[in-house]
């Protein structure tokens, strides 16, 4: 119903939609320090106000929730559907080749720039779906609300503020992933831990270790400094580890000894198999060296015991498990600093549906304690699951199949979205299966035809759920 009208509207507004996406993507909305009235700094504030002005210009009733979140309502009827997107972005980073991060350009059917795929492009696609319903005069009996947040990338504190004031709609989807439908999001075990040990001056020794940039990123690089060993010993040991792991080693002189740099392949912690962990490879290398025995070295050996290189399933810590719907539990050891008397580290564990605090968190805490390490976590974030046979999910899949000709199905993810804590929330779009938008990386892009198709699908969902 109304497919012809929806397709005609979206296609006829192609350039206008691209222009609106570019308008938002020119704003650097990385999280910045708080200033009065601007919870996440100037950039997020500017992006939110630009979006609110845009939505008001198109005739929607808007609300600004203290500059944390902005909303647009399709009408004043009973709320049926929320569409939950975000305007903040991850840092620009380096390595851009097609354009500068905040200078969006269209090239070869793609729109390049930070935020084009995550999540400003999909947010505007949802806005245009609502525009289609409104301007085509399609009669709807219930309300749709577009909710735009500004802190999704750094903890979603914005949405916590919003839901303290508002109830969730009976149905919610977030266009912040990929099609078809993600109805399962794994839980998380926060993995911060530490240990202290007696100082030893015996040589040869480890002076320091420094690895990791964020707890949810498998480290592609790790460094250590050792003292009291000849360069030839280090290079010979490195050759053996390189052959076993595929990692690469390099060495340089420092005032404290020889610095070892290990390079692997970074990845998101929810998909650790896609990376080659430089940190766990470095630790395996260090314990192969002829170092003097001391409490510090024993602590490093404990880390290797608990997090051996290549173990991305938590086998060594006793929490390997999986289920048919959500797949295997994953674990990535991502951050470590170590000096003469202390270490501090963190791992990222994505827990499948069958994981509980009793069979995962408590097990790993006890296992680490056996090795002299203290786990700081006292609770886990439970997995999220919406019934794939519900009317809501089936309606989303039906619209996806109608506009793409592809078979719809439900998927699980180790990643997390805005809907994780919503009773009836799923991720739905806006990229198509097989598209790698380089989210969070250099040269992020959105396929323009995919955004147009997403807008059509979203509009059809509104018709099917709210008319």
Q: Which residues are catalytic?
A: 88, 152
Same-domain status, 361 and 427: no
Same-domain status, 277 and 404: no
Q: Is 67 helix (H, G, I), strand (E, B) or coil?
A: coil
Q: Dihedral of the CA atoms 18, 23, 26, 29 (nearest 10)?
A: -110
In the structure encoding, which two tokens stand for residue 255, read together? 């005032």
Let me know how long the chain is. 467
pLDDT confidence of residue 124: 98
Torsion region of 440: left, alpha or beta (phi above 0 gives left; psi -120 to 50 gives alpha): left
- CATH of residue 275's domain is 3.30.70.360
Same-domain status, 169 and 36: yes
Side by side, the strands of the sheet bearing 342-351 are 248-254, 257-263, 221-227, 205-211, 330-338, 342-351, 187-196, 374-375
Same-domain status, 221 and 318: yes
Q: Is 364 helix (H, G, I), strand (E, B) or coil?
A: helix
Number of domains in the chain: 2
Q: Give the residue among 287, 187, 185, 264 at the shortest CA–CA distance from 218.
A: 264
pLDDT confidence of residue 415: 82
Summarize pLDDT for 128-143 with one digit per residue, the tens.
999 999 999 999 999 9
Same-domain status, 39 and 133: yes
pLDDT along the chain (467 residues), means of 10: 96 98 98 95 98 98 98 97 96 91 97 96 98 97 98 92 96 96 94 96 96 89 96 95 96 95 92 95 97 97 98 97 95 97 97 96 97 94 95 98 97 89 94 90 94 98 96
Q: Which of 322, 345, 375 is the last residue of a domain?
A: 375
Q: CA 342 to CA 185: how far, in whole Å?
A: 35
pLDDT confidence of residue 93: 84
In the structure encoding, which two tokens stand for residue 302, read together? 């404990």
Query: How far, CA to CA in Å, does 443 sit from each of 56, 101, 265, 344?
Result: 31, 7, 18, 33
Q: Tell me how far apart the 2 most distant CA atoms of the chain are, in Å.
A: 80
**Would you say 338 and 291 are in contact if contact means Cβ atoms under 8 Å apart?**
no
Q: CA 19 to CA 274: how far, in whole Å?
A: 35
Q: Which of 317, 343, 375 is the last residue of a domain?
A: 375
pLDDT confidence of residue 73: 98
Q: Which of 375, 396, 412 is the last residue of a domain?
A: 375
Q: Give the residue among 392, 403, 449, 451 at the shortest CA–CA distance from 3.
A: 403
Same-domain status, 207 and 356: yes
First and final C-alpha spacing in the chain: 10
Q: How many CB atoms lie within 10 A of CB 207?
A: 18
Determine the structural domain holding residue 239 and report its residue range.
187-375
Q: Give the residue among 350, 463, 358 at the shortest CA–CA distance from 403.
A: 463
Cβ contacts of residue 155 below 8 Å, gap of 6+?
none
Could you say which DSSP state residue 340 is in? S
Same-domain status, 7 and 47: yes
Same-domain status, 27 and 171: yes
Same-domain status, 249 and 308: yes
Same-domain status, 394 and 304: no
- CATH of residue 435's domain is 3.40.630.10
Same-domain status, 104 and 115: yes
Cβ contacts of residue 12 below 8 Å, gap of 6+?
none
Q: Is 307 helix (H, G, I), strand (E, B) or coil?
A: coil
Q: CA 307 to CA 71: how far, in whole Å?
A: 44
pLDDT confidence of residue 296: 97
Could you say which DSSP state residue 420 is in? G
**Would you say 111 and 173 are in contact if contact means Cβ atoms under 8 Å apart?**
no
Q: Give the residue among 86, 54, 50 at the shortest CA–CA distance from 69.
A: 86
Same-domain status, 139 and 56: yes
pTM of this structure:
0.86
Q: How many CB atoms lie within 10 A of CB 406?
A: 12
Q: Is 358 helix (H, G, I), strand (E, B) or coil?
A: helix
**Would you say 79 and 142 are in contact if contact means Cβ atoms under 8 Å apart?**
yes
């Amino acid at each position: 119903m109304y497919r012809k009208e929806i397709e005609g509207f979206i296609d006829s507004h192609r350039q206008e939609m691209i222009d609106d996406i570019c308008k938002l993507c020119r704003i650097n909305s990385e999280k910045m320090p708080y200033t009065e009235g601007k919870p996440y700094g100037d950039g997020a504030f500017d992006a939110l106000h630009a979006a609110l002005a845009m939505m008001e210009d198109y005739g929607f009733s808007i609300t600004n929730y203290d500059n944390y979140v902005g909303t647009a309502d399709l009408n004043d009827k009973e709320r049926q559907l929320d569409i939950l997107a975000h305007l903040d972005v991850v840092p620009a980073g380096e390595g851009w080749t097609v354009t500068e991060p905040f200078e969006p350009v269209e090239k070869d059917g793609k729109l390049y720039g930070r935020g084009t795929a995550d999540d400003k492009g999909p947010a505007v696609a949802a806005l245009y779906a609502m525009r289609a319903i409104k301007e085509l005069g399609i009669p709807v009996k219930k309300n749709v609300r577009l909710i735009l947040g500004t802190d999704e990338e750094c903890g979603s504190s914005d949405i916590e503020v919003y839901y303290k004031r508002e109830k969730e709609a009976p149905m919610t989807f977030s266009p912040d992933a990929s099609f078809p439908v993600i109805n399962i999001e794994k839980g998380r075990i926060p993995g911060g831990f530490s240990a202290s040990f007696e100082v030893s001056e015996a040589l040869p020794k480890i002076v320091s270790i420094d690895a990791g940039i964020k707890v949810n990123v498998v480290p592609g690089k790790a460094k250590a400094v050792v003292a009291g060993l000849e360069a030839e010993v280090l290079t010979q040991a490195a050759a053996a580890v390189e052959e076993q792991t595929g990692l690469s080693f390099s060495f340089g002189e420092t005032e404290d000894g020889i610095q070892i740099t290990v390079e692997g392949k970074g990845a998101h912690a929810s998909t650790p198999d896609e990376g080659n962990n430089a940190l766990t490879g470095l630790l395996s290398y260090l314990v192969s060296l002829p170092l003097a025995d001391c409490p510090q070295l024993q602590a490093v050996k404990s880390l290797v015991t608990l997090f051996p290189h290549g173990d991305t399933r938590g086998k060594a810590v006793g929490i390997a498990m999986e289920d048919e719907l959500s797949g295997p539990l994953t674990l990535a050891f991502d951050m470590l600093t170590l000096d003469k008397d202390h270490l501090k580290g963190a791992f990222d564990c994505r827990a499948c549906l069958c994981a509980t605090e009793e069979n995962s968190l408590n097990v790993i805490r006890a296992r680490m304690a056996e090795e002299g390490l203290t786990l700081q976590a006292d609770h886990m974030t439970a997995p999220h699951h919406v019934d794939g046979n519900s009317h809501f999910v089936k309606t989303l899949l039906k619209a996806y199949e109608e506009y793409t000709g592809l078979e719809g199905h439900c998927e699980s993810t180790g990643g997390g979205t805005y809907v994780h804590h919503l009773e009836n929330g799923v991720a739905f779009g806006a990229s198509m299966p097989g598209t790698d938008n380089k989210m969070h990386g250099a040269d992020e892009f959105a396929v323009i035809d995919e955004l147009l198709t997403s807008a059509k699908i979203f509009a059809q969902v509104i018709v099917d759920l709210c008319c």
